[in-house]
């Protein structure tokens, strides 16, 4: 089973966007109407992706903060929930 690492995914997407921006800057001197149109579309897409990434990052940070505050305010409830989930997963895995 592959673990989803949201932080790593966000870092990879940021790197991809940065590399694409660098590529666009490097090809800025390429002449031609089609190349210019493609570059404009790519730049617009990159701006949209950057905006969405920032929005997702703010959302995840806010949610992590809420979860952290809940756990700090209710440590025993958090332990009980995690224990219950672990028990449930253990029972499911044992049913093979």
Domain ranges of the chain: 6-94
C-beta separation of 12 from 41 below 8 A = no
pTM across the whole model: 0.51
**Cα torsion 12, 18, 24, 27: sign:** negative
pLDDT in tens, 19-71: 777 777 777 777 677 777 777 777 788 788 878 888 888 888 888 889 889 88
Distance between CA atoms of 71 and 76, rounded to whole angstroms?
8
pLDDT of 83 over the 80 cut: yes
**Residue predicted with more confidence, 90 or 17:** 90
């Amino acid at each position: 089973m592959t673990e989803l690492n949201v932080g790593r995914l966000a870092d990879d997407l940021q790197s991809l966007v940065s590399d694409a921006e660098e590529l666009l800057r490097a090809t800025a001197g390429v002449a031609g109407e089609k190349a210019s149109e493609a570059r404009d579309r790519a730049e617009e897409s990159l701006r949209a992706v950057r905006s969405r990434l920032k929005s997702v990052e703010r959302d995840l940070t806010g949610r992590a903060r809420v979860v952290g505050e809940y756990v700090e305010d209710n440590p025993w409830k958090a332990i009980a929930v995690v224990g219950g989930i672990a028990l449930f997963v253990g029972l499911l895995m044992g049913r093979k």
